Amino acid sequence: MIAFLAIYLATVGAFTVILAASGLDFVSALTSAASAVGTIGPALGQVVGPEGSYATVPVAAKWALSMAMLLGRLELFTVLVLFRSEFWR
């Protein structure tokens, strides 16, 4: 459980940094990363909040959010197993 929580928080943190670097404010970056990895719907903030839309998000951030959604949907441990050499032997 602790390993899953650590991986989850690290993933959300990494995508928050990527989204903030692409031009989103911190609240929008954090909550949209958490909503993408958690697959839970709308985020908070001025850009992607209840009154906003993901349409105004930069293209690079949309790609990052798509990757975060895939990670969240496929489950983190399942994706991490693909990067282990023992899996491919």
pLDDT of residue 16: 97
Main-chain phi, psi angles of 54, to 5 degrees: -75, -5
pLDDT of residue 84: 87
pTM of the entire structure? 0.86
pLDDT of residue 89: 84
Count Cβ atoms below 10 Å from residue 44 Cβ, excluding itself: 16
Beta-carbon contacts of residue 87 (< 8 Å; ≥ 6 apart): 81
Question: How many residues would you count in the chain?
Answer: 89
pLDDT of residue 49: 81
Main-chain phi, psi angles of 50, to 5 degrees: -60, -35
Low-confidence residues in the chain, pLDDT < 50: none
Task: Return the closest-CA partner of residue 38 out of 76, 64, 3, 1.
Answer: 76
